[in-house]
Amino acid sequence: MIAAIVYMGAPYHLAIDLYDRFAFAELWAFVWMPLVLWGVQGTIAGDRRAPPGLALAYAGLVLTHLPTTLIFSPVALAYGILRGERGDRVRVGTAVVLAMALGAGLAGVYLVPALATQPNVSFSDMRVGYLSYVYHFLYYGPRFNADLLKILAQLGTYSAIVLLACTAAFLMTRRGLVGPDKRYARFWMTVAATAFVMMLPFARPIWDLVPLLQAIQFPWRFNIVLTLAMAALVALWAGMATAKASRLDGVALALVCTIVIGQSLPAVFTYLALSRTPGDTSMDKLLAQFGPLNEKAQESVEVTRLAIDVPEYRPRWVPREFRRGESTLPDSLTRIRTAYLHQEPGSATILARSPRRLLVAVDMNAEGWIRLPHFYYPGWRATAGESAPPLPVRPSSPEGLLEVRIGSGGHRIFLELIPGTAERMGWIVSGLSGLILIGWCIHGILRRVHPPSPNG
């Protein structure tokens, strides 16, 4: 219980991901990591129910946040191999790898398109300017601007406090743990130290040499596994303190946990105060409430306002200034909408709109291209009726909007984003993985109902 509380209240999890960055996908990744480790632990113990559970938890992690998956996966695999007995490590490692591969397969409906369609978005923007990993190491190194310097200073403080909590827990448990638990503590202290080092500028040569690491984008994201390691070490410390009924251990543990969770409390109290003020929560309200408090609060709101839309995920046909400029998505859309309303040689009215579908009424003075207020993406198909042939579709220049070539007169145009090859392959991979998981579960049930005889 103590470890769970400190895990939930850790500053990177609560103050940064929830209240500062609104990084809900990364926040939810914290849910899946303990469940994955539960599956790994069950696999080590020989529980036949554990590998399917591990696969499902890992699928949840993949579907939630890929950078966290990339950071955490080696930790889960290493935990399974090193936690197991020497003669059993091959079995455990193989089972964990297969279960994680099955989990990735279950998430194929998302994972395959996410990997295969990256050329269609502006992923190159992840490696330039403010978003480049070279500006995001802690404590020392080049900084893109003064605002980033302040953010990294806060992250550096949080990271140092969590590492000190890991060190305190490790040192306090060294004299009381024996056997596997002692090896367990060493493993998590190694994870904590490695995660911390990966956030330092000394690790930049590793980031430069490994392109896969650069996909994580921000070195300080290693706080994810640093927080996990802290929770594991605190759990060991709490278990030892309870077993020994040591007052010193209890007081020291309470002090460390209070210091760690205390780092998150200013952000929590600020947002609780905001929730009690009249009106719906919005960026304007955040700015009005927090702006007068201090300069940092105002800067935090402005950064969040700009982060509502992530430019690197806009289609690559969108102009550079809409992707890399200082304007927010609403500002960009206002500029786009102005261009759209003044087009010739006709007009278009959107009658219905839903994900992947548009119904548009068009009135054309002459045959030509009509521009729609929707970003272009490969796979859009336009027709003027159920049996009519597809109409030509292209990205507009320079806005990167959806354009359809239509004949003169009035028309009702139906547009649909057709699933591409990557999406269909993702469905197939997820379907096959689901069948394998069902077969695995049935096999386990049958073995429990009709266990094999000792003589085979």
Check if the beta carbon of residue 180 is closer than 8 Å to that of residue 199. Answer: no
279 pLDDT higher than 50:
yes
Cα–Cα distances (Å) from 368 to 5, 219, 385, in that order, read 63, 49, 18
292 pLDDT higher than 80:
no
- Helix (H) or strand (E) segment spanning residue 358: strand 357-364
Q: How does residue 342 score in pLDDT terms, banded at 50, 70 and 90?
A: very low
- What phi and psi values does residue 393 have, to the nearest 5 degrees? -130, 140
Angle in degrees, 0-180, between the axes of helices 421-449 and 50-64, rounded to the nearest 10: 160
Pick one of 2.60.40, 2.60.120, 3.40.1000, 3.40.30 as the CATH number of 333-415. 2.60.40
- Mean pLDDT for 193-204 is 94
Check if the beta carbon of residue 224 is closer than 8 Å to that of residue 29. Answer: yes
Question: What global pTM score does this model have?
Answer: 0.84
Check if the beta carbon of residue 223 is closer than 8 Å to that of residue 159. Answer: yes
Distance between CA atoms of residues 44 and 29, nearest Å = 23
In the chain, what are the helix, strand and coil shares in percent, each to the nearest 5? 65, 10, 25
302 pLDDT higher than 60:
no
Distance between CA atoms of residues 141 and 121, nearest Å = 29
Report helix, strand or coil for 415: strand
Cα–Cα distances (Å) from 126 to 12, 25, 26, 333, 378, in that order, read 22, 18, 17, 22, 21
Please write the tens of the pLDDT for every residue from 420-436. Answer: 999 999 999 999 999 99
174 pLDDT higher than 90:
no
406 pLDDT higher than 50:
yes
Distance between CA atoms of residues 337 and 332, nearest Å = 9
Check if the beta carbon of residue 223 is closer than 8 Å to that of residue 199. Answer: yes
63 pLDDT higher than 80:
yes
- Which pLDDT score, from 0 to 100, does residue 341 have? 43
- Mean pLDDT for 377-383 is 92
Q: How does residue 92 score in pLDDT terms, banded at 50, 70 and 90?
A: confident
443 token code pair = 């096999």
Select from 259, 261, 180, 193 the least CA-distant residue to 229: 193
61 pLDDT higher than 70:
yes
Amino acid at residue number 328: T
Residue 369's DSSP bridge partners are 405
220 pLDDT higher than 60:
yes
- Which pLDDT score, from 0 to 100, does residue 452 have? 62
Contacts of 103 (CB under 8 A, 6+ apart): 54, 55, 56, 57, 58, 59, 61, 62
DSSP state of 354: E
Instruction: Return the domain boundaries, the chain.
Output: 2-273, 277-306, 333-415
Q: Higher confidence at residue 115 or residue 333?
A: 115
- Helix (H) or strand (E) segment spanning residue 301: helix 295-306
Residues in the chain: 456
Select from 275, 143, 23, 215 the least CA-distant residue to 12: 23
Distance between CA atoms of residues 54 and 32, nearest Å = 10
Amino acid at residue number 392: P
